Chain A
């Protein structure tokens, strides 16, 4: 029972950390309908930049994070301006492939120029686990989960501000937004910039936990499962999807891994993606697309 509870709690915390990585995906998809498969690479880049600024400039970690957030904010805007804006109206395969191309490019550039060996970010979290009864809880995951919840709440509040309302209008209909004088391009650029900034949070939390190297980009896969399950354009979906993916991805491997020799987490994640798509493609909270001839 303790084993199960431990898997459950740590799974839920990991799941919320997945939500942190998945948040940017939803922000972009919600406003522009672009599936950003480079989100994992953005997380990696955010972690690399934080590490670079704190080590190369010798500034305190929280200042380094702030600089990285600014840098990623600009990077997101530039990506939208020079890459995605030219793809408006192209078939979805082109857009998917473009973000994948960006993913591959970043996975080459960041380790290529900043070093491929794993690096550590120290955000001052005690490595010793919290022990409640017989249950060990990972302190890093706990902090990450709290950060995730704070950021999700912040995005929910953001969508109630003036700018957020514009973004929601853009996500409803591009042409009508133009008609009432909203700059669709700027709204989409803002969503990319916010996704870049949230990627820094994910990068720092995951990087502090498992080291900064190209493996951070592999977060894309669980993040995709989270957003597919929760619904591609739902902020609530990110939390619920994250919890489900995290818990199933921790409890099932906890019991099945010893029997089959490991690696079941990827299988669970794949099955979640596959079953969601087969039975409820728009996810739990997503908006269903209606197709007309």
Chain B
């Protein structure tokens, strides 16, 4: 096959840490990037705006969460609240007349600071208790957003995003997509590289056993907080991009508790701590329920299947719950592991065993 490699032949650590250990990986990544850039010209506008655009933005949010949950091992069930903080701060900053570039940075910083408060719980507890603590904070943030009119614009209100331009390009039509693509590429490169830096290895040490990490001189205090800071920064900006490029009018419900669960599901279905997994998981969790509902609705319209409206409305929930259960039982390491198995198979194809 086109990327055959019969074994691992690195002779120094620099090669072991290389971003692309196999040249073909780089070409595949570049090919995917080229397709993503050309997408508005190849695919119909409908598909780009309604499927690819949200997929990209949710992937960047899932990458931020996978950095926190997969690499640093801190469970977070309130990530939608962090994104909400980013979305609302960016809109308010942009409305004050702050340039969009600075508004994004400001939104990221505000989310990062508030997100680090979530991390304060992580310094004290872990595991189940951390899940509950972040969940409680999600409710608190939601309540503050809904009940402070200065933030949400009053109860039950939707807040429209103002027209903005990024680097002198007005953000509209196809540029919305490119903005999301640019952000996702930046986040991807960042997370890919963090995993092979000393910082990333320190996070992994804290994940594996924080006591042991502190014995060898890696401060859990510092790395847990900074993991929350970094990932909330990325999550906040992703929330802002989601608001500006996709929703264009935000309500508190768009960042509710169920969205947090959805993000965790993306990370788990994709595979904890994996960059490819974040993309695959986001795509799967986001698109599968949509496709299934359309499919069943289609069957109903053709008269093959008799489905009631209330059943149809609940298919996404069922599909998505079943998806989580099936993945956890059948492949706890997620789609990333399936991808990895396939890749390993083709590395030595047509032989059955390699040394990798």
Contact = CB atoms under 8 A, between A and B. Distances in A.
A278 B318 contact: no
Contacts of A224: 132, 135
Contacts of A96: 75, 128, 131
B129 interface: yes
Contact of B317 (A83, A105, A270, A271): A105
B332 interface: yes
A277 B133 contact: yes
Q: Tell me whether chain A's interface is mostly helix, strand or loop, or mixed.
A: helix
Contact of B325 (A98, A266, A269): A98
Interface stretch (A4-12, A109-117, A153-161): A109-117
Nearest to A291: B211
A88 interface: no
A63 B197 CA distance: 65
Given A108-B314, A116-B310, A270-B136, A92 B127 contact: yes
Contacts of A281: 124-125, 129
B320 interface: yes
Interface string B260-298: 010011001000100000000000000000000000000
B316 A267 contact: no
B192 to A, nearest CB: 23
B324 A98 contact: yes
Contacts of A278: 121, 124-125, 133
Contact of A104 (B143, B311, B317, B332): B317
B75 A101 contact: no
A98 B264 CA distance: 12
Interface string B54-82: 00000000000000010000010000000
B332 A92 contact: no
Nearest to A272: B136
B259 to A, nearest CB: 13
A35 B127 CA distance: 11
Contacts of B189: none
A106 interface: yes
Contact of A101 (B69, B211, B314, B321): B321
Interface in B99-142: 121, 124-125, 127-129, 131-133, 135-137, 139-140
Nearest to B137: A274
Contact of A111 (B135, B310, B321): B310
Interface string A95-135: 01110111111111101110111000000000000000000
A180 interface: no
Contacts of A293: 209, 211-212, 215
A58 interface: no
B191 interface: no
A219 B209 CA distance: 34
Nearest to A228: B132
A62 to B, nearest CB: 28
A108 B132 contact: no
Contact of B311 (A83, A112, A261): A112
Contacts of B121: 274, 277-278
Given A263-B143, A273-B136, A83 B329 contact: yes
Interface in B298-340: 310-311, 313-325, 328-329, 332
Interface string B207-250: 00101100100000000000000000000000000000000000
B155 interface: yes
A250 B18 CA distance: 59
Contacts of B310: 111-112, 115-117
Contacts of B131: 93, 96
For the side of the interface on B, what is the size category?
Answer: 35 or more
A201 B138 CA distance: 30
A260 interface: yes
Nearest to B148: A260
Contacts of B128: 35, 92, 96
Contacts of B311: 112-113
A150 interface: no
B83 interface: no
B211 A111 contact: no
A100 B261 contact: yes
Nearest to A103: B321
B132 A277 contact: yes
Given A86-B329, A277-B121, A277-B129, A267 B140 contact: yes
B143 A97 contact: no
A44 B211 CA distance: 41
B143 A267 contact: yes
Interface string A252-272: 000000001111001101110
Contacts of B211: 291, 293
A101 B124 contact: no
B314 A93 contact: no
Given A266-B143, A293-B209, A101 B155 contact: no
Contact of B322 (A97, A105, A111, A277): A105
Nearest to A292: B211
A163 interface: no
Contacts of A116: 310, 313-314
Contacts of A90: 332
A271 B246 CA distance: 33
A105 B125 contact: no
B147 interface: yes
Contact of B268 (A87, A97, A273): A97
A267 B146 CA distance: 12
Contact of A108 (B209, B264, B315): B315
25 contacts: A35-B128, A92-B128, A93-B272, A98-B325, A98-B328, A105-B321, A105-B322, A105-B325, A108-B319, A108-B321, A111-B310, A112-B315, A112-B317, A112-B318, A261-B147, A267-B140, A269-B139, A270-B139, A270-B143, A273-B135, A273-B136, A274-B140, A277-B132, A281-B124, A291-B211
Q: Which 6 A-B pairs have the closest CB atoms?
A: A105-B321, A108-B317, A101-B324, A112-B314, A104-B321, A108-B318
